[in-house]
Amino acid sequence: MIPGPPAASVPPPWTDLDSASARPLHPAARDALLLAHEHGYADPRRLHHAGRRARQLLDNAREVVAGCLGARTDEITFTGSGTEAVHRGLLGLVRGRRRAGGVVAHTAVEHSAVLHAADFSAAEHGTSTRVVDVDPRGRVDLDALAAALDPRDVALLAVQSANHEVGTRQPLADVARLAAAYGDVPLLVDACASVGWEPLPSPWAVAAASAHKWGGPPGVGVLAVRKGARWRDPSPADDRGDRRALGFEDVPGAFAAAAALQAVLGEAEEAGRRVAALVDRLRAEVPRLVPDVDVVGDPVERLPHLLTFSCLYVEGEALVTALDRAGFGIGSGSACTASTHEPSHVLAAMGALTHGNVRLSLHPGTSADDVDRFLGVLPGVVARLRAEVGL
């Protein structure tokens, strides 16, 4: 017998303020997942009626996601995660641009998926890495970017659509103009943090997204490769239809991810305005209520749902534990490597305080009451933790 879920370890009510790591499954995804598991279980490459039905669901999912991202249907591939999409996107551009240059350039605040793929490429393919500085708000320094591109030896440039920890949007139109001016360098855009909240900016050669961040099922990513991009499959050949996919696609997962994305984008404008107002309140109230707090990221050019601040004299892990006991789920440390207890490379690159780091990520269902309760609890929690270390 498969055991049921463990008993709750925190007293109700419990409020999830860590939705950037994973949102609850959207109702549209839940309905689509049940339908697709019943009718889309078969191999979509088979010619019998069950295979054709699965193929129809997969094609429909690809068409919907393409429309949501402003891409062609044949530019969309479903992967096992956003991380896999980033890895395959980057390594495919390295292979396709082998003659153009041997440098992988990326900003200092990219997700660890980009950093690890660049390290792997250096170890396995002999490329080198060039890191581009950002300003104190986390935005790429365009002068530093021009200097990085000037030698015209860059195979690809990775710049996220918006930062996954502090929410700062990157000026992708300006980045794309520079990339075009210095050797027509292809742009890899990690859009995992932004897809589901706002449209994908158009200047990209390869883009990556992750379904669980918009309310789709976990285990589904999206790799988008522009028609004509110099991308070559970095994996062994597969005789299935989509040369960018690795084996049997998760048809029900892809179908549910597409349904969720279509639904959340239809709600995004209203939800974004409401959630951004709640984050604005948090940005103003947290430093007013709690002394020695550093709120980071651009206050205006940002994703609507993210807020990061650092509390001096307090360990981030202690804050996570204490707030969890008080009924709030939050993030801390580097959003992509919190399990290692390493300081955030994003905050370090911005020159921000990395100690006592807290990341809040609101979902569309977050209420003003949730924010009021959090603001009512936070000052006491921080004061108690500081008192425990003699402050």
* CATH number of the domain enclosing 383: 3.90.1150.10
Digit-coded pLDDT (tens) for 122-152: 999 999 999 999 999 999 999 999 999 999 9
Residue 31 has pLDDT above 80, yes or no: yes
Rounded Cα gap, residues 112 and 127, in angstroms: 18
> In terms of domains, do 239 and 369 share one?
no
DSSP H helical ranges for 40-171? 49-69, 82-96, 112-125, 142-149
For residue 143, the model assigns a pLDDT of 98
> In terms of domains, do 44 and 131 share one?
yes
The total domain count for the chain is 2
For residue 196, the model assigns a pLDDT of 96
Residue 6 domain-assigned?
no
Rounded Cα gap, residues 271 and 378, in angstroms: 25
Q: Please compute the mean of the pLDDT values over residues 162-167 and round it to a whole number.
A: 96
Catalytic residues, which ones? 336
Contact 212, 182 (CB under 8 A): no
Residue 380 has pLDDT above 50, yes or no: yes
* Token representation of residue 146: 């021009």
DSSP E strand boundaries for the chain:
15-16, 76-79, 103-107, 128-132, 154-158, 187-190, 206-210, 221-225, 293-296, 306-311, 328-329, 357-361
> In terms of domains, do 277 and 241 share one?
no
Residue 191 domain-assigned?
yes
For residue 20, the model assigns a pLDDT of 87
Residue 153's domain comprises: 27-262
> In terms of domains, do 290 and 258 share one?
no
Bridge pairing between strands 187-190 and 154-158 = parallel
Question: At residue 64, what is the residue type?
Answer: V
Digit-coded pLDDT (tens) for 227-276: 999 999 988 877 766 778 777 889 999 999 999 999 999 999 999 999 99
> In terms of domains, do 277 and 258 share one?
no
For residue 273, the model assigns a pLDDT of 97
Digit-coded pLDDT (tens) for 49-71: 888 999 999 999 999 999 999 99
Rounded Cα gap, residues 362 and 268, in angstroms: 13
For residue 4, the model assigns a pLDDT of 62
Residue 8 has pLDDT above 60, yes or no: no
Helices 49-69 and 27-39 pack at an angle, to 10 degrees, of 150
> In terms of domains, do 31 and 60 share one?
yes
Digit-coded pLDDT (tens) for 77-129: 999 999 999 999 999 999 999 988 899 999 999 999 999 999 999 999 999 99
Which residue is associated with the tokens 């604005």?
Answer: 280
Rounded Cα gap, residues 57 and 36, in angstroms: 7
Count of all residues that appear for the chain in the document = 391
> In terms of domains, do 274 and 258 share one?
no
> In terms of domains, do 318 and 184 share one?
no
Residue 223's DSSP bridge partners are 77, 208
pTM higher than 0.85: yes
Domain end residue (candidates: 229, 262, 295)? 262
Question: At residue 258, what is the residue type?
Answer: A
Domain end residue (candidates: 262, 289, 318)? 262
Residue 4 domain-assigned?
no
Residue 26 has pLDDT above 80, yes or no: yes
Name the percent of the chain lying above pLDDT 70: 94
